[in-house]
Amino acid sequence: METNIDSEDDFKYPSIFEFPPFFTKQINEQTWKSQLASWDSLILAYCQHYKVWKLSVGSTKNNSLENDLVDGLSGTSLNGSNGSDDVNSKLFANPRINRALKQETIKLIFEYMVEKGHAEWEKSSSKQQIFVYFKRPDEWATDIRRWVDSTGQTGSVLTFYEIAHGDLVASQDFAGIDDTILRKAIDNLVSKNQAVIIKASDNQIMGVKIL
């Protein structure tokens, strides 16, 4: 199924992922609390590994395994929109033991993550989508600032696209960062007077100058 090269980079699921009741909401409060904490750290680790910025309660597609094998090995949902079912079928379901989380349980887990500051609701989604903060926007801000400093780009104007997808950031953690999260990170720098957003005459955002 998997080539050696790929298995190097494959996400290593924790052993609890093979534990069937992990996919059923536990009725015992204490047990549920520990179950939530395990899902929280699993989701953060998974999203960090595959650079997944956004998750949705979504529908966990059944029998989508064949598709996964084709486009799943690249392991990304960088292009966002239609990737969420693919991610959900890998993160919230385990076909080996034929178990999957219910959507209502996924939502509870999202709520827990938001409460912990590990995620934030996507405002327009009415609690259907979260931004996953395996790093918080202020931590991304620090990373970006450090990268700008170390590459001698302090004071020059960068486009948002350059920061997220430019050739120079390929090796950075924030390569491919979601637009909204990037904007939050930049806003954080602006609020600390460490960045200025440059707008064109028609009020279109041109880029950002990091000081």
Partner 1 sequence: MKRVGLAAFDTKHRAAFDDLSSNILQEQVEQLNTQLSVFQSALAYFAVEHAADIRNNPEFRAEFSRMCTTIGVDPLAGSSSNNQGSLWANMLGKDVNDFYFELAVRVIEICRLTRDTNGGLISVSEMKTRLADKSQLRPIEVTEDDIERSVKSLKSLGRGFELVQLGTHKKMMIRSVPSELSNDQTVVLGACEALGYVTVTMLHDNLGWIHVRSRTVLGDMVAAGLLWADTQGVETEYWAPSWLS
Residues that bind partner 1 (CB under 8 A): 15-16, 19-24, 26-28, 30-31, 33-35, 37-38, 98-100
Non-local (6+) Cβ contacts of 168 within 8 A are: 151, 162
Q: Which is nearer to partner 1, 22 or 134 (CB)?
A: 22
Closest approach, Cβ 22 to partner 1, in A, equals 8
Closest approach, Cβ 97 to partner 1, in A, equals 9
Q: Which is nearer to partner 1, 20 or 80 (CB)?
A: 20
Q: Which is nearer to partner 1, 19 or 121 (CB)?
A: 19
Q: Which is nearer to partner 1, 28 or 201 (CB)?
A: 28
Closest approach, Cβ 99 to partner 1, in A, equals 5
Q: Which is nearer to partner 1, 29 or 202 (CB)?
A: 29
Q: Which is nearer to partner 1, 26 or 194 (CB)?
A: 26
Output the CA–CA distances (angstroms, integers) from residue 20 to 12, 16, 43, 68, 94, in the order listed: 17, 8, 17, 22, 9
Contact 126, 118 (CB under 8 A): no
Output the CA–CA distances (angstroms, integers) from residue 48 to 75, 141, 199, in the order listed: 12, 17, 32
How far apart (Å, rounded) are the C-alpha atoms in residues 178 and 77? 11
Closest approach, Cβ 133 to partner 1, in A, equals 21
Instruction: Look up tokens 């390569």; give the residue.
Output: 175
Q: How large is the C-alpha radius of gyration of the chain? A: 19
Hey, what are 180's tokens? 């909204």
Closest approach, Cβ 73 to partner 1, in A, equals 27
Count the alpha carbons within 13 Å of 188 in the hemisphere toward its beta carbon. 16
Interhelix angle 29-50/84-91, nearest 10 degrees: 130
Closest approach, Cβ 24 to partner 1, in A, equals 5
